Structure 1
Amino acid sequence: MNNPHKNARTTVHSRALIVTRRAEGRPVRRIAEELGISERTVFKWLRRHREGGVEALANGASAAPPAACLNASVAAAVRLRREYRLTAAEIAHKLRLARSTVARWLHRAGLGRLKALEPKEPPRRYQRERPGELIHLDIKKLGRFERAGHRVTGSRQGHRNRGAGWDFVHVAIDDATRLAYVEILADEKRGTTTGFLVRALRWFRSRGVRVERVMTDNGSAYVSKLFAKALRWLGIRHIRTRPYTPKTNGKAERFIQTLLREWAYAVPYPSSASRARDLPRWLMWYNRNRQHAALAGLSPETALNNLARNHS
Structure 2
Amino acid sequence: MFHRNAPLTPEGHRRLCERVDAGRPICHVAAEAGIARQTLGHWYARWQVEGENGLQDRSSRPETSPNQTHPDVEVRVCALRREHKVGPVQLVGTLAEEGIILPASTIYRILVRHSLSRLRDLDVDGQDLREPVVRYEWDRPGDLVHVDVKKIGRIPDGGGWRVHGRGSTQHKATSRAKSAGARAGYVYLHSAVDDHSRLAYTEELADEAGATAAGFWQRAVTFFRRHGITRIHRALTDIQAWCAVLSLSCRPAGKDRCRPAPARQRCLTEWSAARLLAC
TM-score tier (shorter): 0.3 to 0.5
Larger Rg: 2
Q: Structure 1 length normalisation: TM-score?
A: 0.37
